[in-house]
Amino acid sequence: MNDQRSKPGVTARFQWQIRVYFEDTDTGGVVFYVNYLKFFERARTELLRACGADQSAVAQNDGVLFVVRSTAVNYLSPARLDDLLMVEVTITRLGRASIDFEQSIRRGDTVLAQSSTKVGCVGRDSFRPAELPAPVRHALEAWRHAE
């Protein structure tokens, strides 16, 4: 894992490195489009984990689940078998019951894909909107404002 924050005055950015495996590609060795969503999901999960918000524990202890409400992806350039990619995550909005993320996937200096994703919090049993647990909110706010 590579957790890097940007310079003061700029929104904090989390980075997660991932390698492209054969299972991620089509027969031409190019990453299948839906797998970018998996890469984005893994980086968001690792950001939460790095902030002390293990999703299993939040579900068990607080009865809250994180669900994707919407996502939009722009595919700019293909990733290929064996590429080493950097997935970057920025929280653009932290609401009472939701988190908005901007993400990108890079190979070196080349941006391959960008996404905007809205994640909502719902009750584990009801699947109705639920507040982001206070410890999770505080951890994410502290991470966003750390220098």
| Average pLDDT of every residue of the chain | 91
Exactly one of 3, 24, 26, 62 is catalytic; name it. Answer: 26
Reported as a pLDDT band with limits 50, 70 and 90, residue 146 is: confident
Torsion angle in degrees (nearest 10) through CA of 83, 43, 22, 29: -50
- Do the strands 98-107 and 14-19 form a parallel or antiparallel pair, or are they unpaired? unpaired
Element (H, E) at 130: none
- Retrieve residue 7's tokens: 């310079």
Domain map of the chain by residue range? 14-145
What is the structure's pLDDT at 52? 86
Examine the residue annotation and report whether 3 is marked as an active-site residue of this protein: no
CATH 3.10.129.10 fits 14-145, yes or no: yes
Q: What single-letter amino acid sits at 65?
A: L
pLDDT tens-digit readout, 28-66: 999 999 999 999 999 999 999 999 888 999 999 999 999
